[in-house]
Structure 1
């Protein structure tokens, strides 16, 4: 066995059959491998459905209070790497379907490019009813997963060399509520590795059906919006700090928003109503022209403000040791 597919999930009963089935089909094309489900405390039928697949290892987070995107991803890698002989690891979300041919193409790429730590492929957003995923699909067509070549991260999953990840300490920082793929990419690149996307299908992503503004409010309320600040905290004083300082777009967005807030406060304090109105409208006009849509421009501005608020949330949040083992229960079916 050389390949493991880790699936991180929370209440994914509607999609987990398709996720596990697609992982098994892709592994069959490369001679077999291990499927690991890292469950963050599902209360639906996710575990029961996964137990119906012989050979699937199921690790469930022991303490739901530790739940985060980084914790789920690290638990998946931790459970997979406990099995000897795993050379490659693919991370899949529970609401994704892995293309049956990607592992074969990904392994061939990594075998031919020994300085690349990981490779991803094209991501197709299935649910674009929400403005959030509509924008993701649009960005993918312009500068995201549809563009082949070296990248700074592998959003929506990728195939990683286990040895490269072990060199940088851990797969995902368990403190991160978002941007765990970017943080891992920064650590790998600081260690001299490269990451790439290739022009082959990788996954179909179903995503949330929740409306964009409702989703943003949920992230603020639950603390997941603090991801950008947590990335900065994680990088401070570490070898990958320069990578984050130069390349983390959310840091630039936050600085711009803080300047905007300051300009509004100055105009308000000086009693300059016209100047205040101009300052308020300037980013709306700019983003509307850039996005070619008033609706999308306003949504982008709100997103930037949420990122700036989350930056402050994450910077003030306490951290646990990133490389400490994630406590979990083995819920694999008997006779696995």
Structure 2
């Protein structure tokens, strides 16, 4: 039961060495291979990775990186019957793979199994807010997606067509989960740690702007576009609570625009807009138990809502098509 571990990287020179070492230690007694799938790093990520017994592949410069293209790049170079997917800024828990392999052996219709992602970044508002969520990041048992990665069965992935949709800048795990579950496979989260994740050491608002520029925030729109007309479209809409949130945000924005025009005085309309916005921030601050988190949540909503239509109308490439890349180092 050997494992292909795929490490997705983009400018991870500070973390990739430790990530590889954690995987090498975890593979002892199991066997397998490691593929570093790089999205075009401009730092020393590749130079560091080449010091280890791993395969290193990198996108051709003409191919734009995305969250979805990295896993698929690694998958097309992988060989083993089980695929462990993780990021280059993660450390694999040494006991995860034996327990995960045991679960897949005992549950032949399970396509994948993961564990908890322990967020080590406790300074950025983004990761603090993420750490407070319950579903789907922290829930154990049957799940609909494996956010953060985990161990997949190659047979199931091949039935689903491909590991990751190269067109997606986000929600690639959800898309894979939908395709797997549509074919009768299941996903499971063990009540144990899978990885420690160090994340971006950036101000949350700086990270938000970076994700806007990189296209990351367009992921949900791209996901909807890719599923349009597919058998799992209705299930996808039902399983994405974010869609209801974005609908509410759109209604709020429409009301903000309409109030200055509908009320007797534009100034009165603007005043109502200010009060309404302050009230929404206040409610979110109470829910998050923090004014800064409440404000950040509302700002993030606006960014996501603006990005959704941009992603939906984005042109697509065949997700299963071979990704042009170069092999920097082979095993």
- The TM-score by the shorter chain falls in which range? over 0.9
| C-alpha contact 1:63 1:327 (8 A) present in aligned 2 | no
Q: 2:82 & 2:258 partners in 1: Cα distance?
A: 54
The alpha-carbon deviation at position 279 of structure 1 amounts to 3.0
| C-alpha contact 2:63 2:324 (8 A) present in aligned 1 | no
Extract unaligned runs of 5+ from structure 1: none
Query: Which residue in 1 is equivalent to 2:302?
Result: 305
Corresponding position: 1:90 with 2:92: no
The alpha-carbon deviation at position 144 of structure 1 amounts to 4.4
- Alignment deviations for residues 147-181 of structure 1 (CA, whole Å, 9 cap, x no partner): 31111111111100001010010110000111111
- Alignment deviations for residues 280-318 of structure 1 (CA, whole Å, 9 cap, x no partner): 233223212221222111111111111111111101211
Q: 2:138 & 2:238 partners in 1: Cα distance?
A: 23
- Alignment deviations for residues 306-333 of structure 1 (CA, whole Å, 9 cap, x no partner): 1111111101211111111111101116
| C-alpha contact 1:35 1:57 (8 A) present in aligned 2 | yes
Query: Which residue in 2 is equivalent to 1:226?
Result: 218
Q: 2:103 & 2:136 partners in 1: Cα distance?
A: 19
| C-alpha contact 2:113 2:151 (8 A) present in aligned 1 | yes
Matches within 5 A, 1:238-317: 238-271=230-263, 272-273=268-269, 274-317=271-314
Extract unaligned runs of 5+ from structure 2: none
Q: 1:37 & 1:121 partners in 2: Cα distance?
A: 21
Query: Which residue in 2 is equivalent to 1:167?
Result: 159
Q: 1:109 aligns with which of 87, 103, 109?
A: 103
Please give the TM-score of this superposition, normalised by the length of structure 2: 0.94
Q: 1:203 & 1:122 partners in 2: Cα distance?
A: 7
Please give the TM-score of this superposition, normalised by the length of structure 1: 0.93
Question: Residues 150 and 261 (structure 1 numbering): CA distance in 2 closer, same or farther, change over 3 Å?
Answer: same
Query: Which residue in 2 is equivalent to 1:16?
Result: 16
The alpha-carbon deviation at position 101 of structure 1 amounts to 1.0
Superposed CA RMSD: 1.5
The alpha-carbon deviation at position 64 of structure 1 amounts to 4.8
Per the alignment, in what secondary structure is the counterpart of residue 162 of structure 2?
coil
| C-alpha contact 2:7 2:35 (8 A) present in aligned 1 | yes
- Alignment deviations for residues 68-123 of structure 1 (CA, whole Å, 9 cap, x no partner): 1101111011111xx3xx21101010000001111111011111112211111011
